[in-house]
């Protein structure tokens, strides 16, 4: 049954993304910026709606009060990365447009990638690390000045439930370069939507948004160490069963 429900949800996403992405790409000839972004978020809501009713996956959020209240204030969201679920969910939760920093290979995905390429995001070539970071800083400054929040996954790739990846300092370095705070976010998405697994399970995904951490006068390594400490401690609080098994 779980396999069948997962297959139905996959078909739901495919059937809905085709017309949505087509309209977005065509509309991008005339409209850019926030209106195009929120149109794209509309499809994410459709995909999550399908996840709720077809897969039984719900979410529970805490810590929204930690987000900047000033609509002109910028920030960088540094998020635990366990599955595709949080990449779909977070734009639907945030009051500001988000700009993901992602590998450019995603642009090659038919329809989804084509639409992604028309949005104000930061796609990088991971094989050219120095140039990639310069691009992140340049585009990050521009987007933050426009009221767009930058979102990054410091582990770089999805991690298995109960596991911890290596936290890279790119997000902290960008925060220091731009002078904006970072906001750590813990997500237990692998409980329901495991990494690289086709079959999804019903349940509740917890999202915990931590207090903003200032980047002023900080070193990138110590700032990222503080982010890592908060996220990993919160993950163990939210999903203790996973870490008992891992231990």
Q: Which of 70, 90, 56 is nearest to 203 (CA)?
A: 56
Please return the burial class of 95, using the count of CB atoms within 10 Å of its CB with bins 0-12, 13-18 and 19+.
Answer: exposed
Tokens encoding 53: 């009713």
Helix (H) or strand (E) holding 61: strand 57-62
| Three-state secondary-structure class, residue 203 | strand
Domain ranges of the chain: 2-246
Q: Are the C-beta atoms of 136 and 144 separated by less than 8 Å?
A: no
Q: What is the CA radius of gyration of the chain?
A: 18
Q: Do 94 and 63 meet the contact criterion of CB atoms below 8 Å apart?
A: no
Query: Could you give the 3-state DSSP secondary structure of residue 197?
Result: coil
In CATH, the number for domain 2-246 is 3.40.1130
> What string of pLDDT tens digits covers the 247 residues of the chain?
889 999 999 999 999 999 999 999 999 999 888 999 999 999 999 999 999 999 999 999 999 999 998 777 889 999 999 999 999 999 999 999 999 988 888 888 999 999 998 998 887 776 666 677 777 788 888 888 888 999 999 998 899 999 999 999 999 999 999 999 999 999 999 999 988 788 999 999 999 999 999 999 999 999 999 999 999 999 999 999 998 855 5
C-alpha torsion angle, residues 182, 124, 154, 162 (rounded to 10): 140
Contact 182, 76 (CB under 8 A): yes
């Amino acid at each position: 049954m779980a396999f069948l429900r997962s297959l139905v949800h996959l078909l739901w996403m495919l059937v809905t993304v085709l017309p949505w992405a087509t309209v977005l790409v065509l509309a991008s000839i005339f409209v850019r910026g926030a209106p195009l972004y929120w149109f794209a978020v509309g499809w994410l809501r459709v995909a999550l709606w399908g996840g709720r009713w077809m897969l039984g996956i719900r979410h529970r959020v805490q810590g929204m009060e930690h987000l900047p209240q000033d609509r002109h204030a910028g920030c960088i969201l540094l998020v635990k990365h366990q599955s595709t679920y949080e990449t779909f969910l977070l734009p639907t939760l945030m009051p500001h447009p988000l700009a993901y920093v992602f590998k450019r290979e995603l642009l090659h995905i038919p329809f989804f990638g084509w639409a992604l390429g028309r949005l104000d995001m930061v796609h990088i070539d991971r094989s050219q690390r120095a140039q990639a970071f310069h691009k992140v800083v340049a585009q990050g400054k521009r987007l933050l000045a426009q009221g767009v929040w930058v979102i990054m996954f410091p582990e770089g790739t999805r991690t298995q439930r109960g596991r911890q990846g290596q936290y890279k300092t790119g997000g902290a370095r960008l925060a220091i370069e731009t002078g904006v705070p970072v906001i750590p976010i813990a997500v237990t998405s692998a409980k329901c939507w495991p990494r690289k697994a086709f079959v999804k399970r019903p349940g509740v995904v917890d999202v915990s948004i931590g207090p903003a951490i200032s980047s002023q006068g900080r070193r990138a390594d110590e700032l990222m160490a503080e982010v890592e400490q908060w996220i990993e401690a919160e993950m163990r609080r939210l999903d203790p069963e996973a870490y008992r098994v891992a231990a």
